[in-house]
Amino acid sequence: MMQQRVIEKRMQAKVEGEILKWGRCLCALCNKKGKMGTTTKATPQNPVVKILCFDCAVEDLSKRHNISHKEAKDRHEKTMKAQERLIRVIMERYQETTGKKIPKNMQAISEIVQPGVEWWQNGLSESERWEIAKLSKDDQKRRFRESPILPPTKQPIVNTAPDIGRNDPCPCGSGKKYKKCCLEKAA
């Protein structure tokens, strides 16, 4: 129910269907409870987001692309697995950049993952998502790590300044020892 309000607030759209617990939903088309399939996009022409069960999502995909039911099911499953890999990459990057553990709270996880999921669903066309889904696991992860929605990984700080001993000649060129010249200014 909370996710539904978040969708309505972000999209400024009415939501048909309902997201239930444990990856299940109440489908907007068949009105049955089942495995979560997908959500449709809200557009200015149709400001309604529909939550579809897996079977209705596959049927919709089959009709829209004029492909067999089996091919549509395969395409949908591969696309959903790619989305799951994206979420894993986001969580790995979160740990790398913050040094924190992944939160146990679903709302906190949702806030971390949401920008990436929105990029996946709204920033890419269906054909771009399918092209990514056809890639190997490693290529998918590489593509996700290069995506603009992930913060860059932390780079180690490297001191490039030359090591100057206290008794070495000062690098400023005064001819004095470093300890008598610029060491005091640096401190």
Q: What is the mean pLDDT of residues 64-86?
A: 87
Distances (CA, A) of 28 to 36, 51, 52, 107, 173: 11, 6, 6, 24, 78
Distances (CA, A) of 163 to 11, 119, 159, 185: 57, 46, 9, 17
Residue 19's DSSP bridge partners are 25
Q: State the Cα–Cα distance between residues 137 and 147, nearest whole angstrom.
A: 15
Q: State the Cα–Cα distance between residues 1 and 62, nearest whole angstrom.
A: 29
Burial class (CB in 10 A: 0-12, 13-18, 19+), 84: exposed
pLDDT in tens, 92-101: 888 887 788 8
The band of 117, judged by pLDDT with boundaries at 50, 70 and 90, is confident
pLDDT of residue 185: 74
181 close to 174: Cβ distance less than 8 angstroms: yes
pLDDT of residue 187: 62
Q: State the Cα–Cα distance between residues 56 and 169, nearest whole angstrom.
A: 78
pLDDT of residue 63: 86
pLDDT of residue 8: 47
Distances (CA, A) of 143 to 110, 116, 118, 136: 22, 13, 16, 10
- Does the pLDDT value for residue 19 go beyond 80? no
Q: State the Cα–Cα distance between residues 100 and 158, nearest whole angstrom.
A: 23
pLDDT of residue 29: 77
pLDDT of residue 155: 66
